Chains A and B, each alone.
Chain A
Amino acid sequence: MKNFWYLFAAYSIIWTALWAYTIRLSRKNKELQEELHDLQARVERVLTK
Chain B
Amino acid sequence: MRGIVFSDKEDILSQALTFFRQKMEIDAAIYSENPQSSAEFGAKKLFFLQGTGFSDNVSDALLSIIQKENYDFIFITSTALGREVAGIVSDKLGKEIIAEIFDFNIDNSKVKTKRFAWGGKTVAEEESDCRIFTVMPGIVEASKVPEKSEVSQVRMNDSKVSLVQTIPKSSSTVDLEHAGIIVSIGRGIGKKESIDQIMPLVKAVKGELAGSRPVCLDYQWLSEDRQVGLSGRKVKPKLYIALGVSGQIQHIAGMRGSKTVIAINKDKMAPIFEEADYGVVGDLFQIVPMIVKALQQ
A, B assembled together: no
Chain B residues in contact with chain A, CB under 8 A?
Answer: none
